[in-house]
């Protein structure tokens, strides 16, 4: 029974993560913390939850990136510019994670999730902050040709912060990077989501090495989560091209608020 639950968690988390570019760790981490210590799973520490989630994010990122590559939505230049900052950020975040106890982790993670729910509220309404500065790019889809730009220095600094939170919380950083790409560089939402999954794949690979070296991975749980994550990411990428993302983002915001408030309460008491 517990294995079916983990399989379902991996599937749902990866599908939602790939659909809106969040990666899925924002669901896997609290799910492991919630189920750990119940009759279903053995107790799971914050470090184990984050480390295991980081490994799963490699699978989610790879699977969805391959799907988005076929749809020709991935901006490789933008992805690798952002990776320059996110890689060291994710390493520092992974090491910073080991200093958090359960109460602090629940409180910080809960506040972070609630904050992200409000960021997602404005994600599709945001206007580009940097205008047309930097490297100009174009993307053509069935809605026409979109022009946007990449400002390398700003992008690197922003991705460092995103990588830090990704390594600290095991969420991959997409919940920050997608709105950042839209607000800072006017990246079309579909391109932002697809490129975010490439970035999550690369950053998760870096942070996972750190977590593995620290012994923060429960390999048995990871092995069960992997199949669900692989097919869930494919499903999310497939849905991204076929349904309105506004409805999904609204549902995700409600989930983030619910889980975030619960974790804040758990951290306080």
pLDDT of residue 11: 94
Mean pLDDT of the chain: 81
Select the highest-mean-pLDDT range: 38-52, 57-71, 108-122, 156-170: 57-71
pLDDT of residue 263: 75
Identify the CA nearest to 16 among candidates 256, 266, 269: 256
Which helix H or strand E contains 227, and what residues bound it?
helix 219-240
pLDDT of residue 227: 93
Q: How wide is the angle at C-alpha 156 spanned by C-alphas 151 and 160, nearest 5°?
A: 150
Q: 61 Cβ partners below 8 Å, 6+ apart?
A: 23, 172, 197, 198, 199, 200, 201, 202, 204, 233
Q: 79 Cβ partners below 8 Å, 6+ apart?
A: 195, 198, 199, 202
CA 246/CA 197 separation, integer angstroms:
19
Radius of gyration of the chain (CA): 17
Quick check: 17 pLDDT over 80? Answer: yes
Mean pLDDT of 226-250: 83
Using pLDDT thresholds of 50, 70 and 90, give the confidence band for residue 60: very high
Strand runs labelled E in the chain: 135-141, 144-150
pLDDT of residue 41: 76
pLDDT of residue 181: 81
CA 142/CA 16 separation, integer angstroms:
23
CA 256/CA 267 separation, integer angstroms:
16
Quick check: 250 pLDDT over 80? Answer: no
Least confident of 54-68, 72-86, 97-111: 97-111
Asked if 15 and 239 touch (Cβ cutoff 8 Å), the reply is yes
Q: Which residue has the higher pLDDT, 229 or 100?
A: 229
Q: Which two tokens mark 111?
A: 């506040």
Give residue for tokens 């490439």. Answer: 198
Query: Which neighbouring-strand residues pair with 136?
Result: 149
pLDDT of residue 264: 86
The pTM of the full predicted model, rounded to 2 decimals, is 0.79
Q: Which two tokens mark 31?
A: 């799910």
Using pLDDT thresholds of 50, 70 and 90, give the confidence band for residue 150: confident
């Amino acid at each position: 029974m517990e294995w079916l639950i983990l399989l379902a968690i991996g599937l749902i988390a990866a599908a939602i993560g790939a659909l809106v570019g969040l990666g899925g760790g924002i669901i896997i981490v609290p799910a492991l913390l919630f189920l750990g210590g119940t009759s279903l799973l053995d107790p799971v520490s914050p470090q184990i939850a984050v480390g295991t989630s980081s490994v799963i994010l490699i699978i989610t990122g790879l699977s969805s990136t391959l799907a988005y590559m076929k749809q020709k939505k991935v901006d490789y230049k933008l992805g690798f510019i952002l990776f320059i900052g996110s890689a060291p950020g994710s390493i520092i975040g992974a090491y910073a994670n080991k200093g958090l106890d359960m109460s602090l982790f629940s409180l910080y993670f809960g506040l972070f999730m609630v904050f992200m729910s409000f960021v997602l509220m404005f994600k599709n309404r945001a206007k580009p902050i940097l205008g047309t500065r930097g490297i100009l790019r174009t993307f053509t889809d069935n809605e026409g040709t979109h022009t946007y730009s990449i400002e390398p220095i700003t992008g690197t600094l922003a991705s460092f912060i995103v990588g830090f939170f990704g390594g600290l919380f095991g969420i991959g950083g997409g919940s920050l990077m997608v709105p950042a790409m839209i607000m800072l560089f006017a990246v079309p939402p579909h391109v932002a989501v697809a490129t975010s999954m490439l970035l999550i794949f690369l950053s998760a690979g870096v942070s996972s090495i750190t977590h593995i070296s620290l012994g923060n991975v429960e390999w048995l749980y990871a092995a069960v989560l992997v199949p669900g994550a692989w097919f869930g990411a494919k499903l999310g990428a497939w849905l991204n091209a076929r349904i309105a993302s506004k409805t999904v983002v609204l549902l995700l915001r409600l989930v983030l608020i619910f889980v975030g408030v619960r974790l804040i309460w758990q951290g306080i008491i």
